[in-house]
Amino acid sequence: MGLGGTLTKQVAEYYARGDFGALSRLADTGLMLYALIALFAVVALNLGSSFLISRLLGLTLPFYSIITGLQRMDVSNILGYFNTVCAALLTVAFLSWGWALHGLLSANVIAVSLTLALHVWMLHKLLPDLRVNPLRFDLREAKHILSFSVQLYLTQIAVAIHTQVDKIYLALFVSVNAAGWYNIAGDAAWKVRTVPGLLLTPVMAAASELDATGEQQKVRELYYRSHKYLACFGVPLVLYVAVASRRLVALWVGPNLSMVAIPLAALVLANFFNLTSGPGYLILMGQGILRPGVISALLGVVVNLTLSFLLTYLYGLTGAVIGTSAALVVGTTYFLYLFHRLTKNPFSRLVREAYLKPVLSALVVLAIFFFVSPFNELGWGGLVLQGILFGTLYFYGLAVSRFFDQFDLAKAESLVPIARIARRIIRVA
């Protein structure tokens, strides 16, 4: 319901200001709100299923948001991996013992309970002076949190509409089969989008902290750096998937479903373009400004609901793909316009520093592959090897075009020490 992002934003702001009284009040109130939502779900759905219990134990979410707000994504990600691996191992063990459905439920409960305990312990290590007690929740703080989270939730609803409405229209006007084909393409495109989207995880908390300390120049630099890294890793991925979509679909679901290839290529490109609104949206969110994001999200929803309805009725699967792609492009373009008008950040700098060289480098390498080694006859192994070669040539193109600077190389070395070798090879801007 938008609470996770709200808590992350407020934690980063209060922590940057050193206001631990407000931080404690926020943690108490956030935990109480999550507890009340979980309790309401349990009562409403009659204390029923494994889904329900997992939601009740979803009280890990406020702790996750607080840790993320402290910009310790390394810790929050490790805890997330622990939950997944623990649940998987326990599920295998309990099912092998013949526990059936109760085994699935028990594995889920134990894994999430252990993860919750680890979240509490880790939060105590990071903030030893913070004593979380939901009974000390503050009503005014709750109103403040909810007023912000409702606006945030509107943008989340927009995502749900973009990913679901076309399947409803296709099932209504065409057939369930067409809805299934679209679902294959849409689900794959969304998974491709999430890979470069992981790069944006720290942006909102960082923006909130920088804004709280009045470092506006660093906020601006954060915007361009976020786009630069998003383009660096996202552009080659989406272009490679789009160009190789026909072969990927043939290997994945068989040549009889080749009609999925074009929707996959279109939706991959449209979803990545939509992702380019992410850095600006997260930065404005960190600054407490949600209006541009809400307006552009509502515009995209209106376009999708109306245009997709008409195009799906007239042209079936093709119309559905065009409708959703157009809605994503319109909403994203309008947001970028609003963001750059509000912040006065030059849009030309964004294109020049972040996207121009990655797009040109990726297109040149793909053009060479298209004429020298087409995708048509490749198997999975061939696609993987060609992908590795593509990535190597792509990054070589970025290196010789001076896409990277000293800051980029220093960051790479801090993460992967062997990257210091790159300083001897790469020409920096």
DSSP code per residue over 348-408: HHHIIIIIHHHHHHHHHHHHHHHHHS-STT--HHHHHHHHHHHHHHHHHHHHHTT---HHH
Q: Is the pLDDT of residue 376 over 80?
A: no
Residue whose entry in the numeric block shows the structure tokens 């992002």:
5
Within a domain: residue 335? yes
What pLDDT score does 304 carry? 96
Q: What is the CA radius of gyration of the chain?
A: 23
What pLDDT score does 76 carry? 83
Domain containing 322 equals 146-356
pLDDT digits over 150-198, tens only? 888 888 888 888 889 999 999 999 999 999 999 999 999 999 999 999 8
Within a domain: residue 223? yes
What pLDDT score does 416 carry? 67
Within a domain: residue 403? no
What pLDDT score does 253 carry? 87
Mean pLDDT of 394-419: 81
* Contacts (Cβ under 8 Å, ≥6 apart) of 215: none
Same domain? 43 vs 122 = yes
How sure is the predictor about 424, in pLDDT bands with cuts at 50, 70 and 90?
low
pLDDT digits over 47-56, tens only? 555 554 555 4
What pLDDT score does 48 carry? 55
Task: Tell me the residue type at 346.
Answer: P
What pLDDT score does 221 carry? 94
Is 321:311 a contact under the CB 8 Å cutoff? Answer: no
Residue 267 or 101, more confident? 267
Residue 278 or 254, more confident? 278
pLDDT digits over 36-74, tens only? 887 787 777 665 555 545 554 556 778 888 888 777 877
How sure is the predictor about 334, in pLDDT bands with cuts at 50, 70 and 90?
very high
By residue count, the chain amounts to 429
Burial of residue 246 (CB within 10 Å: 0-12, 13-18, 19+) is middle
% helix, strand, coil for the chain, step of 5: 85, 0, 15
How sure is the predictor about 289, in pLDDT bands with cuts at 50, 70 and 90?
very high
Same domain? 128 vs 213 = no
Rounded to whole angstroms, what are the CA distances from 181 to 176, 185, 295, 389, 411?
9, 7, 31, 31, 42
- Please state which of the ranges 36-50, 83-97, 372-386 shows the lowest mean pLDDT: 36-50
Token couple for 20: 């631990």
Q: Is the pLDDT of residue 387 over 80?
A: yes
Reading phi first (left if > 0) and then psi (alpha if -120 to 50, else beta), residue 350 is in alpha
Of 330, 356, 382, the residue at which a domain comes to its end is 356
Within a domain: residue 15? yes
Long-range pairs, 187-192, Cβ under 8 A, ≥24: 188/264, 188/268, 189/264, 189/267, 189/268, 189/270, 189/271, 190/163, 190/271, 192/237, 192/238, 192/241, 192/268, 192/271, 192/272
pLDDT digits over 103-118, tens only? 988 998 899 889 888 9
Q: Is the pLDDT of residue 403 over 70?
A: yes
Is 12:70 a contact under the CB 8 Å cutoff? Answer: yes
d(CA 64, CA 150): 20
Classify the C-alpha dihedral 96-101-104-105 as positive or negative. negative
Mean pLDDT of 398-424: 75
Of 75, 104, 137, the residue at which a domain comes to its end is 137
- Whose CA is closest to 196, among 355, 304, 317, 83? 355
Same domain? 63 vs 203 = no
The total number of structural domains in the chain stands at 2
Mean pLDDT of 330-359: 96
Same domain? 164 vs 286 = yes
Q: Torsion over CA of 19, 24, 26 and 27, rounded to 10 degrees? A: 140
Rounded to whole angstroms, what are the CA distances from 96 to 104, 109, 155?
11, 18, 42
Token couple for 362: 């990726």
What pLDDT score does 65 carry? 82
Within a domain: residue 401? no
Furthest C-alpha separation in the chain: 68
Q: Is the pLDDT of residue 373 over 70?
A: yes
Classify the C-alpha dihedral 51-56-60-61 as positive or negative. positive
Same domain? 314 vs 176 = yes
Mean pLDDT, all residues of the chain: 87
Same domain? 38 vs 107 = yes
Same domain? 151 vs 67 = no
